[in-house]
């Protein structure tokens, strides 16, 4: 294993159960790669390539393997509990082989740490390999499956198998809107991991081609079938535009695909009058980050659902749409209700990605402490150890590096942020810094370069070369700090 934690080696397992787990993990990975460009990282999952590349901008090393059943879907709105249990039982019969394979993989990779969101088998493997196993999530699968045991006792050994893995988790980074995670012996609460738009609402709507006199709604599902009569009913709502993204494919007059547009998904969410969806962690986080209202329907018997709905209703304008009306395309009443609600402002911390990166780096800097449970830990009963609970109301102090990623900040904050960052970077002696603004429409890039052009601490700037980000990043050369002579 590597002993140089300036160049760490990581294995990051991501459950393919819904895209929400992927989106939040990839956001933390993106922030980690920005902070530690030398990281050697392998993603272990069977997520589609387009989703990974879309969020990271590059295609990292990916090991195609699924170690997580999640929930087997009958369709976009219903689970198949019998198929889920049968698939999990089949996986359990291969426990020793799977754990041994992952142990060998971690050792051959030279992994310094393993992170899982939130598959449990990797914790067995990390323990056998003798490396820290960090979890990130808002629930554990044993809690989900336990809700089905009353009607079928065959779940019991499977639940205990899940718990056995989570008990080996050295540190769980527990996200907001969480369920019972007490199977993990050491827990640190972190703020919401959320992406922020890089374009203003007006800029995004212009790119989307939204007419000023029409409302815009995003249909947010990873899979959805709507029959011809439902599509024709949506088509009759001619004052509304309905946007969707692959793998969804619809053909109706006021339906528009966002594929190929230079907009991130959260930019699109921020441009909408509402999102129409079933509550999942990823889309709820995007709506919380942008303050976008939600029209939501059922998603089957899943314990996380009630928690997400409670938090949605606490922070956002929401309207419930029955699954029957949803499938019929009878959305008119819900749309009218959401349009009649006064605007609301969301007030919650959205810097969970930076907090998670900092905690993982802390673990890398003191692996033995992590294994001993002295980093932000709780005991098995969920009690916080003295002095270990993070203050979620206080600002997070992010170490000043020679690069800064602006994707997670609001455009209105960029000028003050750059002023503070450039002064701190020069104070640390950096001669050149890399400012990551992304490609997109070029609006954020133009803003950054306008600020740099007039900034007293900047000697010159230029677009980064290919490996440094291309025109998605700008390199700024700083004036040397003045020295007080004798």
Q: Is the pLDDT of residue 332 over 50?
A: yes
Q: What is the pLDDT of residue 328?
A: 96
DSSP 245-301: -TT-----TTEEE-TT-S--HHHHHHH-SEEEE---HHHHHHHHHHT--EEE----S
**The pair of three-digit structure tokens given for residue 229, joined into one six-digit string:** 């009569």
Q: How confident is the model at residue 77 (pLDDT cuts 50, 70, 90)?
A: confident
pLDDT for 371 equals 52
Q: What is the mean pLDDT of residues 146-154?
A: 92
Model pLDDT, residue 15: 92
**Residue of 88, 94, 95, 92 lying closest to 149 (CA atoms):** 88
pLDDT beyond 80 at 440: no
Long-range contacts (CB closer than 8 Å, 24 or more residues apart) made by 242-251: 242/217, 242/218, 242/276, 243/208, 243/216, 243/217, 243/218, 243/219, 243/268, 243/272, 244/218, 244/219, 246/50, 247/222, 247/223, 248/219, 248/221, 248/223, 248/224, 250/219, 250/226
pLDDT score at 336: 97
Tell me which range, 349-363, 365-379, 438-452, 463-477, is most confidently predicted by mean pLDDT.
Answer: 349-363
pLDDT for position 444: 78
Q: State the sign of the Cα–Cα–Cα–Cα dihedral 414, 409, 203, 246.
A: positive
User: What is the pTM assigned to this prediction?
Assistant: 0.75
Q: State residue 304's pLDDT score.
A: 94
Which has the minimum average pLDDT: 208-222, 294-308, 391-405, 468-482?
A: 391-405
Q: What is the pLDDT of residue 445?
A: 83
pLDDT at 317 over 50: yes
φ, ψ for residue 401, nearest 5 deg: -115, 180
Asked which of 49-58, 63-72, 83-92, 279-288 is least confident by mean pLDDT, the reply is: 49-58
Q: Phi/psi zone of residue 387: left (φ > 0), alpha (ψ -120 to 50 degrees), beta?
A: left
Higher pLDDT: 207 or 77? It is 207
pLDDT exceeds cutoff 80 at 89: yes
Q: Which residue has the higher pLDDT, 89 or 7?
A: 89
């Amino acid at each position: 294993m590597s002993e140089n934690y300036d160049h760490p080696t990581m294995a990051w397992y991501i459950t393919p159960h819904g895209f929400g787990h992927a989106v939040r993990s990839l956001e933390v990975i993106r922030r980690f790669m920005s902070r530690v460009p030398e990281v050697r990282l392998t993603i272990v999952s069977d997520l589609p390539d387009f989703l990974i590349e879309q969020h990271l901008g590059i295609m990292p090393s990916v090991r195609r393997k699924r170690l997580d059943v999640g929930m087997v879907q009958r369709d976009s709105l219903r689970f198949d509990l019998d198929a889920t249990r049968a698939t999990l039982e089949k996986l359990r019969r291969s426990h020793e082989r799977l754990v041994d394979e992952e142990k060998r993989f971690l050792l051959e990779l030279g992994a310094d740490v393993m992170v899982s969101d939130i598959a449990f088998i990797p914790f067995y493997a990390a323990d056998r390999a003798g490396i820290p196993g960090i979890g990130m999530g808002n629930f554990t699968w044993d809690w989900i499956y336990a809700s089905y045991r009353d009607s079928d006792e065959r779940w019991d050994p499977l639940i205990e198998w899940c718990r056995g893995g989570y008990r080996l988790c050295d540190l769980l980074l527990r996200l907001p809107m969480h369920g019972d995670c007490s199977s993990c012996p050491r827990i640190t609460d972190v703020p919401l991991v959320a992406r922020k738009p890089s374009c203003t609402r007006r800029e995004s709507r212009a790119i989307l081609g939204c007419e000023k006199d029409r409302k815009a709604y995003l249909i947010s599902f990873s899979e959805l079938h709507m029959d011809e009569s439902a599509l024709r009913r949506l088509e009759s709502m001619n004052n509304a535009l309905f946007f969707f993204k692959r793998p969804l494919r619809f053909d109706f007059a006021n339906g528009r695909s966002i594929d190929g547009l230079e907009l991130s998904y959260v930019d699109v969410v921020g441009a909408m009058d509402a999102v129409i969806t079933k509550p999942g962690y990823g889309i709820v986080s995007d709506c919380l980050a942008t303050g976008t209202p939600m029209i939501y329907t059922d998603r089957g018997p899943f314990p996380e659902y009630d928690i997400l709905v409670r938090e949605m209703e606490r922070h956002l304008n929401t309207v419930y749409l029955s699954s029957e009306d949803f499938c019929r395309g009878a959305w008119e009443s819900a749309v009218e209700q959401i349009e009649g609600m006064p605007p609301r402002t969301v007030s919650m911390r959205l810097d969970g990605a930076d907090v998670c990166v900092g905690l993982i780096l802390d673990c890398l800097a003191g692996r033995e402490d992590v294994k001993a449970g002295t980093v932000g830990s709780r005991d098995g009963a969920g009690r916080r150890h003295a002095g270990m609970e993070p203050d979620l109301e206080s600002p997070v102090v992010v170490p000043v590096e020679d690069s800064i990623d602006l994707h997670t900040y609001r455009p209105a904050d960029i000028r003050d942020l750059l002023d503070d960052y450039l002064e701190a970077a020069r104070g640390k002696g950096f001669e050149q810094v890399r400012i990551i603004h992304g490609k997109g429409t070029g609006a954020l890039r133009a803003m950054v370069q306008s600020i740099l052009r007039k900034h007293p601490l900047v000697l010159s700037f230029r677009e980064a070369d290919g490996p440094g980000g291309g025109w998605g990043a700008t390199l700024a050369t700083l004036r040397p700090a003045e020295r007080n002579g004798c």
